[in-house]
C-alpha cells in the first residue's frame, strides 16, 4: 500500500488515473498541489483521524489479504506480497507499490491488484467494465515490474467476487509515460497544470490571482497566442449561460406550480414521485445592522475589511470599437499593461 510514505517525491500507480482525468475524487490540479507540498493528503485509513477517516478505504487495506487468498482459491495461482516498490529505470519519479505477484504454470510473471467496493458498484463494472483508473494502475505495475500480464480481483461487499485479467499493451504504457512526463514537468517547475472544471481549480485560481490590476487587460495578440480558441470558448459560455437561465426558469415554474397545489401540506405522493416541502429547524443569526446602530464603536473595533469579489463576466462585443470598453460599465479605459 502507498499510505505511509512521502508521496510528494513520486507519481504512484494510483495517481495515474488522476492525471488522465479518470478519478472522480481528485483532480489533476489537486494532485499537483499535493506533489508540490501546498496541500497535504490525509491518511484516510487512520482511525484516530475522525474528520478524514474512510471506512471503505480502511477495509480496503484490511481485506487485501482475504482478496488475495480468494484469488488463489479461484484460480489456483499462488501469489506473494512484495515489500519493495518498483521504480522506472529511466523516469525515477514513476514508482509502483504492488499488492501481490505470482508466476503461472507457463512461467509467466503476473501482478495482482486487490480491490474492494460496495455491492452496488458491481453493476457499474458489469456495464462499463473495470474503471479506467484501475486499469491504468495495473498497466503501470506491469510496466514497472516488467510483468507479462496482470489481474484485478475485487470483492463487492459480501455479495460478489470478480477477477479480470489485464493484458500487457505497449500502446497504453507509452501513453502513461507521456502523460506522466507531461504532469511531472508541472511539479518540477511548480507551474499550475491547465485548468479543469473541478472546484479545487476554481479555489486555486482565486488564491493565485486574488486582486486584479486596475485598468489592465491582455492584448488581442497575446490572448490569441495563449488561447487560440478563446472566442469559441466564450461564445459557448454565453450560450450555456442562456441555457442555464432557461432551465432554471423552467424548474422554478415546476416548483412554484406544485407548491401552489401543496399549500400547507408537508409532503406529496403520486404513483411515481414523492415530494417534500417542509420547514428546516429554526436557526439564529447575528443582527449586525442593529449591533452597529447600538454599539458603533464596538462594531468598528471588530469590523474586518474583506477584499472585494472578482466576478468573471462575459459580454459579446457588437463593434470592434467596443474592445476597450469595460464590460461592467459604460466607461472606457486605456491599456496600462497590454500591448
> Distance (Å, rounded) from C-alpha 19 to C-alpha 8?
15
Report how far residue 289's alpha carbon sits from residue 287's, in angstroms, rounded to the nearest whole number: 6
Report pLDDT for 332.
38
Choose the most confident range, by mean pLDDT, from 34-48, 142-156, 209-223.
142-156
HSE-CB of 154 using CA atoms within 13 angstroms: 22
Task: Kindly state the average pLDDT of the residues 59-65.
Answer: 84
pLDDT at 325: 53
**Cβ pair 182, 142 in contact under 8 A:** no
Which of these ranges, 8-12, 202-206, 287-291, 321-325, has the smallest mean pLDDT? Answer: 321-325
Q: Name residue 152's beta-bridge partners.
A: 113, 164
* pLDDT above 80 for 37: yes
Higher pLDDT: 2 or 103? It is 103
By mean pLDDT, which of 48-62, 78-92, 230-244 is the weakest? 48-62
Percent of all residues in the chain with a pLDDT value above 90, rounded to a whole number? 61
Hey, what domains does the chain have and what are their CATH numbers?
A: 7-187 (3.90.320.10), 221-314 (no CATH)
pLDDT for the residue numbered 97: 94
Torsion of CA 258, 259, 261, 267, to 10 degrees: 90
Q: Is the pLDDT of residue 329 over 70?
A: no
Lowest mean pLDDT among 71-75, 239-243, 263-267, 328-332: 328-332
- Mean pLDDT, rounded, for 43-56: 74
E-strand spans in 50-180?
86-87, 94-96, 100-103, 109-117, 149-156, 160-167
Amino acid at each position: 500500500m502507498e499510505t505511509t510514505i512521502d508521496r510528494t517525491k513520486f507519481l504512484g500507480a494510483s495517481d495515474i488515473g488522476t492525471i488522465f482525468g479518470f478519478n472522480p475524487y481528485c483532480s489533476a490540479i489537486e494532485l499537483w498541489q499535493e506533489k508540490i507540498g501546498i496541500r497535504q493528503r490525509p491518511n484516510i485509513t487512520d482511525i484516530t483521524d475522525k474528520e478524514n477517516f474512510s471506512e471503505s478505504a480502511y477495509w480496503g487495506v484490511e481485506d487485501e489479504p482475504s482478496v488475495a487468498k480468494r484469488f488463489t482459491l479461484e484460480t489456483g495461482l499462488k501469489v506473494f506480497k512484495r515489500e519493495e516498490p518498483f521504480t522506472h529505470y529511466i523516469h525515477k519519479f514513476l514508482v509502483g507499490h504492488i499488492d501481490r505477484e505470482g508466476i503461472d504454470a507457463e512461467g509467466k510473471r503476473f501482478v495482482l491488484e486487490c480491490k474492494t467496493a460496495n455491492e452496488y458498484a458491481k453493476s457499474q463494472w458489469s456495464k462499463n467494465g473495470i474503471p479506467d483508473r484501475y486499469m491504468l494502475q495495473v498497466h503501470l505495475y506491469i510496466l514497472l515490474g516488467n510483468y507479462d500480464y496482470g489481474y484485478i480481483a475485487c470483492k463487492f461487499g459480501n455479495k460478489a467476487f470478480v477477477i479480470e485479467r489485464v493484458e500487457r499493451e505497449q500502446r497504453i504504457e507509452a501513453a502513461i509515460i507521456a502523460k506522466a512526463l507531461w504532469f511531472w514537468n508541472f511539479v518540477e517547475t511548480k507551474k499550475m497544470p491547465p485548468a479543469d472544471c473541478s472546484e479545487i481549480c476554481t479555489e486555486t485560481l482565486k488564491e493565485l490571482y486574488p486582486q486584479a490590476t486596475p485598468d489592465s487587460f491582455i492584448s488581442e495578440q497575446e490572448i490569441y497566442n495563449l488561447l487560440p480558441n478563446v472566442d469559441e470558448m466564450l461564445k459557448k459560455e454565453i450560450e450555456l449561460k442562456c441555457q442555464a437561465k432557461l432551465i432554471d426558469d423552467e424548474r422554478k415554474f415546476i416548483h412554484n406550480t406544485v407548491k401552489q397545489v401543496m399549500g400547507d401540506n408537508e409532503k406529496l405522493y403520486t404513483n411515481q414521485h414523492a415530494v417534500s416541502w417542509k420547514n428546516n429547524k429554526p436557526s439564529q443569526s447575528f443582527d449586525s445592522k442593529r449591533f452597529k446602530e447600538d454599539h458603533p464603536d464596538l462594531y468598528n473595533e471588530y469590523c474586518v475589511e474583506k477584499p472585494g469579489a472578482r466576478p468573471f463576466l462575459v459580454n459579446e462585443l457588437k463593434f470592434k470599437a467596443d474592445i476597450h470598453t469595460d464590460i461592467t460599465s459604460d466607461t472606457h479605459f486605456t491599456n496600462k499593461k497590454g500591448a
